[in-house]
Structure 1
């Protein structure tokens, strides 16, 4: 390494290091997924330093850019595998088994309803994603010398929390993260521009005053401040596009899973008041409880969601509802409440009690007539925070006799409320075993509730998060019977659907505290989830499977004589060698291909997430590798159809791809002298002479002559490729250097130029 190389080490490090810092600042926004940012940022920093250090060292040694990228990719992949899987090449044997286990466990643990997570469970996904962002940013900003394009990487990193969690709450990007990221990005652009200008050499006009150094800083700071403050100052415009469709603009509102981000408070146990409830007519006989926020009706196999809602425009927040059942004697005393949400409750759903008779909520609220829950039409732009509304509701008080008399759900049952994805067969066997001997849907439901609450097998805890997918659910029901309300509600709802009982999951507030003014206050720690089951002639009623340690109260209609059945000996769970007769008339789902794994828990985890991740990596790699080749072919086709200058450019690109001498700054005759030794045959030399003549006439003649030289260029280029070595031809085909080449000095002419060659070119 020469002394000039040593002096160039610091400038060569400045842009790559700043690029790495910029991406790390942006990646800190992924803290929305976990409470322990260092669990993923630490490993990404280690691998990022390795990638950047490899790039700096290789570039100082004048290694070709394609080789630099391959080295970074190889070392980055090995380092990431060591940090995540503790194996350098997890492609077979124990390494692959470890990779499958780690990634599947992380996939099962990832639950958008329970973010941020308290442990490093999702780190195996965040670390490779962050390393990929670092590598891509280094390729764009350093290898390809396109630093502004690195902003696309930052944008993609910022987009991930928005797309999964949403713009509000935990899904937003902190203004601190934005400021540091934007500032670092601008510093990187400034350093890159300074390096480019420094390559021009010493100033010739020393008398001119230097440009003020504060100018770029003022511009950069102004840009960051404006970008930060403008969205807060600008009102959200109410833009209506021209009516091009057949509708009148009052069609249904489609809402897809607006519950993401609400379940995080279940484990945060906040003492902040979320909703205040005041009985309009004074105190009530029964304290208000189970204030419902929303309903989850669809189980995807990995989580419960609200599904796709088609909510008509006339279902506004001011509405009157019929009693939930035809027999009004099943209803308790109606009470009118005045509700107010605090500024801390950023929910897009409106809390109401389960069986409303009348609701008065002004604003962009609409209700779903199937679930009777209210949602905002403005999304995160209009939440319930700070709003007031009134409602009248009456509790459902059916008798056990009436519930026991309810037959199997018929055609009047809500559609889709017994649908389940492909699950391990043992889950259905558990449902049948725990309800053996019960002859009515309601008795079976009570048996399930009693098993969770009173068998002594299950423990309530906020510390353990077991997930809600099929493998995690089976593990919760058989081995690790520890969880909080979300696990109990979802487990009972799934088991009920296995028995063909319509079921869904509701979430909201369990109960509140009454202050001295008679106002009931529901706090963050009161957030709760519970199942609701549907019975013929009665409708939806709630159950409470969460153990009593969580201060929950089972409904009165599930206690008494029927509830005493919990003291009888329980039926044993089916073993792997026993079978239970299936429910009559139930459509049989295809058995999963993991029967053995169902008994052992984590062995039955699916490798689907692994193959999806590998497919994305392979696809991204193929795009990166194929991109230069595709660009080169398109440019070649366009140039061969052009004039002499286009043909000359194509000839130069061919020389650069093959590693032949080509400066781009010399005259056509000088460039031709460098190519002549590589032609060897007279016919391509004559063709090269015609190309040079056409270019010179086009540049220097009094009147430009548009000459087509495509055939001559093809002949000369083919001859150059013919006499090039195999490695050069392969490199030109797979990674054409001309795509990345700028106008820099070419290598010296290789070999002597014969007298006949010089005369041919000069004649």
Structure 2
């Protein structure tokens, strides 16, 4: 006897859709890479639905599993290519060229420290990866019928931000994302198990639940709850819950690269007010010095990062500090400032003036005693936006004589401040060549600053991004010599370390603008980066290598008799393709990209790609509309050539398609009695009686050898269609309802019918 499979569109959609939702919820964690999730989640949603829809349609059509995967791969690739490069075929010459160009541009712009990037900038990498995750999850959960293995895909998705950004930055997974992903994953497992059990048919005891027991659901929910709550008691502070984070704990906090996104603002050069500063006590007449946000202490060879920070819980945002040097005469006048961040400044670091003596910042803030950087313990969930705090600071004002008298470089400096990875030999050769005539650490530092700032070899420009790897560094120092403050600060810090001088890169704001109320406003265009070098008994000292074309001023202790001209030369004329800020007032905002004029061939190619995409979408729509009718015809042919039960099922689906009453739970004679009024003529009535007799004999006779009734079913079905109205016949032919309806399991299904026959025969 044949057993009826769990049929219909609803059970066919259950596992694929929940698998798709699980991956989509997991992909939300990739929001760490971008300031807007829609540019990558939207295209993944469209292409993913196409992949899942192709799989569902092909499986309903009983297409071979390998062919289903090939179709999903084909349509997924076409959709992804259209969404990313606006060309349907990435393997053709034109499509491949566009893919290479798009990926090259995204790779050039991508920098783990520049995160979050703009949505369109990082999307060419995220969209193909997300669609691939959806496809792999569908293959494992549906095609291979191994839903638990789909958890490996989710784990891989979660691992991407962890491996690139680190758990201490914004690369962690929020508890909401984790809970939604785990919930849909459990629902997928539950639907898969119910579908497998449903294939065995109806239970003999109708009072017992058809669904599996609640035990697995309780276990799954408990596992999710434990996974969410356990980090609050475990000694790992990288995953937090609201109100249960590590800010009030006693263990150390490990912060990894929390400065993501600030260099993106550095290049944006907006007029938005980021921080407002009001002098309260002390020297309220002197303009505030550079407002420092943080310091980068580790150079990996491709980027400067904040490194790993072990910050104990007692180093909170309310703290006092000793002067950074033993000689109090090097400390300037103290000033207390009231600071307020605008809602636009989404920074996880708290800006303070260099060399703070006291900070009062309530909230989830802790500081690193080596750098005096203040960082949020809750990452992206708690930024400085809209916050107010107070700080007292005094500038360090060493004289040239004091700096010239500094001892050996590195004495008393924090560890690791001269560490460098393996770099090309040219970097060390340049450092030695530019300081060959100097014999003291301070004069070597000034020589490097003067080379960048006054030699006339370098050009300030916001339009040239020279990259961050070792090859780009050598190219910047030897060839193009065009860049903005990031390149100059990082290059001087690297050269200083090559000379054995402790160095780091600080970032923050230049001097702001004062309004009529005496409030200083630091804007997006004031964002800046500069190097700081360590000198014995003095501490960190600021230098300014960025050329004078930008409104930057070199410190007084680096001028005078140390070799730089008293009258600074005009900024060099930039070479073709670069631009210099026209007014030496502030680092000018980056000029908008000039739209390129495309030729007719490119326009035709774009139009062809668009029309090809429209044609593909139209074709897929037509396939989706025609699929139910095609599935219905295939089922009809298979059933009419099969056994009695298959023919009886075909008769029931015909009734359902025509809108006639058919439940699938009544006895064959009851179903026939309801269909009889819809038949006309003696032959269809006799054929229906023969069908009922054959079904009863097959189900309840000891040996159950029923005669073939395919021709009788054809006769009865034709009579039912002839008796129905035109709209019912049209609907049954084009959009058969039986495809989308799951009839109740019949008494004959599977092992149940055999058990009943054994009981009767005994």
Considering the TM-score relative to the shorter chain, is it more than 0.5? yes
1:292–1:354 contact (8 Å) kept in structure 2: yes
Alignment of 1:328-727 (within 5 A): 328-380=328-380, 382-409=382-409, 411-564=411-564
1:496–1:503 contact (8 Å) kept in structure 2: yes
Change (3 A) 1:537 1:565: farther
Q: Helix, strand or coil: the match of 1:260?
A: coil
2:169–2:257 contact (8 Å) kept in structure 1: no
Pairs aligned (count): 540
Change (3 A) 1:745 1:197: closer
Where does residue 243 of structure 2 map in the other structure? 236
Change (3 A) 1:79 1:10: same
Where does residue 302 of structure 2 map in the other structure? 302
1:533: Cα distance to partner? 0.5
- Mapped to 1, the partners of 2:185 and 2:470 lie a distance apart of 43
- Mapped to 1, the partners of 2:180 and 2:251 lie a distance apart of 43
- Mapped to 1, the partners of 2:314 and 2:181 lie a distance apart of 45
Change (3 A) 1:375 1:254: same
1:289–1:509 contact (8 Å) kept in structure 2: no
- Mapped to 2, the partners of 1:78 and 1:385 lie a distance apart of 42
Change (3 A) 1:522 1:172: farther
1:105: Cα distance to partner? 8.1
Q: Helix, strand or coil: the match of 2:423?
A: coil
Query: Which blocks of at least 5 consecutive residues in structure 1 are unaligned?
Result: 91-95, 205-233, 242-248, 570-743, 747-763
- Mapped to 2, the partners of 1:367 and 1:61 lie a distance apart of 63
Where does residue 256 of structure 2 map in the other structure? 256
- Mapped to 2, the partners of 1:449 and 1:745 lie a distance apart of 85
Q: Helix, strand or coil: the match of 2:510?
A: strand
Alignment of 1:119-268 (within 5 A): 122=122, 125-145=125-145, 153=153, 157=157, 160-161=160-161, 236-237=243-244, 250=250, 252-268=252-268
Alignment of 1:90-109 (within 5 A): 109=109
1:108: Cα distance to partner? 6.4
Change (3 A) 1:400 1:119: farther
Where does residue 288 of structure 1 map in the other structure? 288
- Mapped to 1, the partners of 2:12 and 2:251 lie a distance apart of 58
1:167–1:380 contact (8 Å) kept in structure 2: no
**How far does the alpha carbon of each residue in 1:191-225 deviate from its partner, in whole angstroms, 9 at most, with x for none?**
99999899899999xxxxxxxxxxxxxxxxxxxxx
- Mapped to 2, the partners of 1:253 and 1:195 lie a distance apart of 47
- Mapped to 1, the partners of 2:359 and 2:352 lie a distance apart of 8
Change (3 A) 1:131 1:400: same
- Mapped to 2, the partners of 1:517 and 1:153 lie a distance apart of 57
Where does residue 216 of structure 2 map in the other structure? none
- Aligned residues: CA RMSD: 5.6
Change (3 A) 1:121 1:497: farther
**How far does the alpha carbon of each residue in 1:504-541 deviate from its partner, in whole angstroms, 9 at most, with x for none?**
11122222222222121223332222110012332210
Change (3 A) 1:262 1:194: same
1:173: Cα distance to partner? 9.5
- Mapped to 1, the partners of 2:333 and 2:188 lie a distance apart of 68
- Mapped to 2, the partners of 1:103 and 1:745 lie a distance apart of 54
TM-score for the superposition, normalised by structure 1: 0.56
Change (3 A) 1:99 1:311: same
Change (3 A) 1:69 1:385: same
2:454–2:564 contact (8 Å) kept in structure 1: no
Query: Which blocks of at least 5 consecutive residues in structure 2 are unaligned?
Result: 205-240, 570-748, 752-762
Q: Helix, strand or coil: the match of 1:333?
A: coil
- Mapped to 1, the partners of 2:134 and 2:436 lie a distance apart of 57
1:403: Cα distance to partner? 2.3
1:139: Cα distance to partner? 1.4
2:245–2:378 contact (8 Å) kept in structure 1: no
2:201–2:750 contact (8 Å) kept in structure 1: no
Q: Helix, strand or coil: the match of 1:448?
A: helix
Q: Helix, strand or coil: the match of 2:422?
A: coil
1:170–1:261 contact (8 Å) kept in structure 2: no
- Mapped to 1, the partners of 2:110 and 2:341 lie a distance apart of 30
Q: Helix, strand or coil: the match of 2:336?
A: strand
Q: Helix, strand or coil: the match of 1:492?
A: helix
Moved more, 471-480 or 76-85: 76-85
Q: Helix, strand or coil: the match of 1:511?
A: coil
Change (3 A) 1:125 1:476: farther
**How far does the alpha carbon of each residue in 1:333-372 deviate from its partner, in whole angstroms, 9 at most, with x for none?**
2222222334444433332211123333444543333222
Change (3 A) 1:363 1:123: closer
Where does residue 279 of structure 2 map in the other structure? 279
Where does residue 116 of structure 1 map in the other structure? 116
Q: Helix, strand or coil: the match of 1:280?
A: strand
- Mapped to 1, the partners of 2:412 and 2:343 lie a distance apart of 41
Moved more, 24-33 or 442-451: 24-33
Moved more, 425-434 or 355-364: 355-364
Change (3 A) 1:238 1:8: closer
1:294–1:373 contact (8 Å) kept in structure 2: yes
**How far does the alpha carbon of each residue in 1:627-655 deviate from its partner, in whole angstroms, 9 at most, with x for none?**
xxxxxxxxxxxxxxxxxxxxxxxxxxxxx
Q: Helix, strand or coil: the match of 1:564?
A: coil
Change (3 A) 1:150 1:550: farther
Where does residue 321 of structure 1 map in the other structure? 321
1:166–1:260 contact (8 Å) kept in structure 2: no
Where does residue 576 of structure 2 map in the other structure? none
TM-score for the superposition, normalised by structure 2: 0.56
Change (3 A) 1:194 1:372: closer
Change (3 A) 1:368 1:176: closer
1:164: Cα distance to partner? 5.3
Moved more, 292-301 or 549-558: 549-558
Change (3 A) 1:288 1:19: same
Q: Helix, strand or coil: the match of 2:402?
A: helix
- Mapped to 1, the partners of 2:458 and 2:176 lie a distance apart of 43
1:292–1:508 contact (8 Å) kept in structure 2: yes
2:169–2:379 contact (8 Å) kept in structure 1: no
**How far does the alpha carbon of each residue in 1:347-399 deviate from its partner, in whole angstroms, 9 at most, with x for none?**
33332211123333444543333222233445455544444333322212222
- More relative contact order in 1 or in 2 (CA 8 Å, sep 6+)? 2
Change (3 A) 1:462 1:49: farther
- Mapped to 1, the partners of 2:30 and 2:385 lie a distance apart of 25
- Mapped to 2, the partners of 1:240 and 1:436 lie a distance apart of 49
- Mapped to 1, the partners of 2:105 and 2:408 lie a distance apart of 38
- Mapped to 2, the partners of 1:395 and 1:457 lie a distance apart of 32
Moved more, 30-39 or 267-276: 30-39
2:170–2:380 contact (8 Å) kept in structure 1: no
1:418: Cα distance to partner? 0.7
- Mapped to 2, the partners of 1:358 and 1:309 lie a distance apart of 21
Change (3 A) 1:360 1:35: closer
**How far does the alpha carbon of each residue in 1:467-489 deviate from its partner, in whole angstroms, 9 at most, with x for none?**
32323323333344333322222
